Structure 1
Amino acid sequence: MRDSLRESNHDFRASTQLFNSLDPAKIDGDLDVINRGKQRGEVNQPPKTAKNLDDVEHAIVERVEDEKKAAHHTLEDNLQLLGGRLAGLDFEEQFGLIRQTNAASVSDFKASVAVGLDELHGLRRALNDAEKEHAWFKEKHGLVRAARVQHGAAHIFRLSLLLFLFLVETAMNGNFLAKGNEQGFFGGILEAAAFSFINIGAALLLAVFCARLVTHRSFFVKFVGIISILFYIGLAISINLALAHYREVSG
C-alpha cells in the first residue's frame, strides 16, 4: 500500500523542465521487463534467428512512442498558445505608438529648450548688468568686502521689535493720558498711539535714510549722517516734552 501511494503516475524523472526524460526504472516496474525477459529467455523466446520484435519489445516501443506522441501534442499546444499570445501583443502597433510618442516627445523637448534658452538669455543679460553695477559700486566707494544681504529672519525680528516698542510705549502713555481724557482709557490709548507713531516713525525714517550715512567713506556724507542723528535726538526730546506738556494740560 505504501509503495503504491508513493509511486508516481507518470514515466518521467522529476524535473523542472517542460519535456522530462523517461524513467527506465518506472517503465521497468510497470512492464516487469526483467522478470518477463528471464521467463522468455528460459524458453529461448524469441529465437536468435527472429528478426521481428516480440511482445515485450513491442510493449516497450509502444510505451516510448506513446510518450513521444504526448510530448509532441504538448509541444503543439504550447506553440499554439505562444502564437496566440504573440498575436495578442501586437508588437507592430506597439512599436508604432512608441515611435509616434517618441517623435512628439522630442518635438516638445525642443520647444521647451527654445523657450528655456529665451528665458536664460534675458536672465543672463540681467545678471551681467547686475555684476557690472556691483563692480562699479565697489570701485566707486573703494569697497573690498562682499555685499551684505539682509535675511528674512533678521528683517522679521526688526519689524517685531518695532511693533513691540510701539505697543509698550502706547500702553504706558495711554495709561497716563487716560486720566484727563473724556473717553477714558480708550481715548488715552488713541492719543498715545498717535504720539508713538510720530516718535517711532520719525526714528525709523531717520535710521533708514540718514543715520546709516555715518558708515559712508565720504566725510561730507558722514557729517550729514551725524547731523541727522543729532536732529533726531532733538526731535525725540521735543516730542516727549510736547507729550508731557499735553498730559499736564489735559490732566
Structure 2
Amino acid sequence: MTDDLHTNPFEKIDTNQVAEDLHIVEDSQRNARRGRPALDSAEDDLDPTERKVIGLIESAQAQAQQVCESELKAYRERLVALDFREQLSSIDIETAKQRAEFDQHVDKAIVELSREQQGLRRKKEDMQQFKEQNGLHREPQPRSWDDKIFNVGIIAVLFLIETFGNAAFLAKGNEFGLFGAYTEAVVISFVNLGLAFLLGILVTNFNHIHWGRRSVGIISAAVFIVFALFFNLMVAHYRETTGTVLDEGGKLAISAFGENPLGLGDFQSWILFFMGFLFAIISFIDGILWDDRYPGYAKSARVFAEADDAYNEFYQACLKGLKKTSDEAVQALENIKQNILLAGRQHDSIIDDHRRLIKSFDDHLEHLEHAGNHLLQLYRDTNRAMRDGEAPERFKKPWSIVKTPVDTSLPKAMLTREEILKITSAAEIKIDNGVNELHNQYDMGSEELRPLAPHRRQPDSPRGDQDES
C-alpha cells in the first residue's frame, strides 16, 4: 500500500526493453522466412512469440490488479476505522472520567491538608502553652541566620585581633619566638572569647520565670565577671614573667598573681589585660543577643514557624496539583477534538486516494493494452515485411485486454460528508461545554480548599509571615 497521494503504484512497461528481451524482431523475421504464422491461421491461433507477449502483458495485469485490490481493501479498512460516532460518544465518557478523577484529587487534598493543619495546630498550641507557662505576653524575637552569622563574624574578628595582639605581646619571652607566641595566643583567645560567649547565653536564664533557672543566670554573670578579670590578669602576669624567665614563666605568673593580682609593672601588660577584658565583654554581650532573651522561647517559635511554612508550601503544592489535574483533563478533551477534526481530514484524503487509485488502475490497463498491441504490431509488421506473400488476415485486428472486475465499493456504513460535518460540529460543542465544566469544577475545588488556606502572620510576629492557621 502506498501512503504518498501522488505516487502511482503501478509499474509501466518499457516496450523497447521487452522487445529486445523477447527477441521479437528476430523471431518475427525467422518465422516470416518459414511462412509462419500460416495465412489461414485463426484469430486465437497465436504463435509462440505472440503468446509470450500476451502472457507478459496478462502477468503485469494480474500483478497490477493484486496491488489495486490490496490498496482498495486498505482504504476500506481505514474508512471503517474512522468511527466518528464512537469518538462523539467518547466525549461524554471522557468528560465524566476526568471530572471523577478531579473530585478524587480534591477529596485527597482536603484529607491531607486537614491532617497537616491538625499538626500545625498542635505546634501552635505548644507555643501558646509555653507562653502561658512562662508568663509571656509578647511575641517571640528569634534571631535570623543572617543575624547569627553577623554575631559569629564579630567574634571571629575579635578572635583574630586578640590572637595577633597577644602573640605580639607574648613573643618577647617565648623561646620559639612569634610562632610559639601565636600558638599560645590562639589558645588564650579561644578560652577567653569562647567561655565569655557561652556564659552570655547562659546568663539569659536570669529572665526565666522559675527561680532555679534565674539562679543559673545570676551565677553565670558572676562567673563571667570573675573569669574575665582573673583570666586576663593572669595572662598579663604571664606576659611579664615570660619576659624574664623562660622555663618557669607559668609558675611565676601564678605566684605573682597570688601575691598581688594588680601588681603589673609593665604598661604593655596592662594594655594586654584591658584588651582581653574588653573583648570578653563584647563576646559576652554577643552571647546574650544570640537569640530571644527568654530561654527556649525562640526555639518554640521557630518550631511553629517552620511547621507553618511547611504547611503553606504543602497548601500551594495542593493548589498546583489541582491546576495540573484540571489542565490535563482539559487537554484530554482537546485531544479528542483534534482527533475528530483530523479524522474528518483523513476521510476526505482517503476518498480522494480511493478515486485516484481507481483511475490510475484504469489508466494502467489502457497502458498495458497499448503496450501489448505495440509489441504485437512490431512483430506483425516485421513479419509482414519479410514474407513473400500475404500476411494472415488476423494481423489487422488489434488485441484487447480482458478486464477482471475489481471491487471498488466503499463501506456501506460510511458516513457522508454532510453527516461528518454535523458530527464534527456537535463534537466541538460538546467539548467546549466539557471544558467549561472542568474550569468551573476547578474553581469549585479551589473554593473547597480555601477554608484550609494558611492565614498570614502579622508583621511583628516571628519572621513576619503568618500568625495563625
TM-score between both structures, scaled by the size of structure 1: 0.52
Deviation of the 1:103 alpha carbon: 9.6
Deviations 1:188-247 (A, max 9, x none): 112111011011111111111x21012223345333312210111111222212212322
User: Counterpart in 1 of 2:218?
Assistant: 226
Q: How far apart are 1:112 and its partner, in Å? A: 7.0
Structure 1 distance, partners of 2:95, 2:173, is 83
Partner SS, residue 175 of structure 2? coil
Residue 190 of structure 1 aligns with which residue? 183
**Within 5 A, what are the aligned runs for 1:57-206?**
120=113, 123-206=116-199
Is 1:240 aligned to 2:228, yes or no? no
Residue identity matched to 2:183 = L
SS of the residue corresponding to residue 153 of structure 1 reads helix
CA displacement 1:47-105 (0-9 Å, x = unmatched): xxxxxxxxxxxxxxxxxxxxxxxxxxxxxxxxxxxxxxxxxxx9x7x999x99998998
Q: Secondary structure at the match of 1:178?
A: helix
Over the aligned positions, Cα root-mean-square deviation in angstroms equals 3.5
Q: Mean Cα displacement is larger for which, 235-244 or 140-149?
A: 235-244
Report deviation, 1:136: 0.8
Distance in 2 between the 1:182 and 1:163 partners? 28
Structure 1: which 5+ residue stretches go unaligned?
A: 1-89
Any runs of at least 4 consecutive aligned residues in structure 1 with deviations exceeding 4 A, and if so which?
A: 98-119
Matches of 1:194 and 1:124, distance apart in 2? 50
Cα 1:140/1:181, change in 2 over 3 Å: same
State the alpha-carbon separation in 1 of the partners of residues 137 and 215 from structure 2: 23
3-state SS in 1 of match to 2:209: coil
**Structure 2, gaps ≥5 residues long:** 1-81, 244-469
1:179 aligned counterpart, secondary structure: helix
CA distance in 2, matches of 1:125, 1:165: 47
CA 120–163 in structure 1, closer or farther in 2 if over 3 Å, else same: farther
- Whole-angstrom distance in 2 between the partners of 1:156 and 1:181: 35
Where relative contact order (Cα < 8 A, 6+ residues apart) is larger, the structure is 2
Higher mean Cα deviation, 178-187 or 196-205?
Answer: 178-187
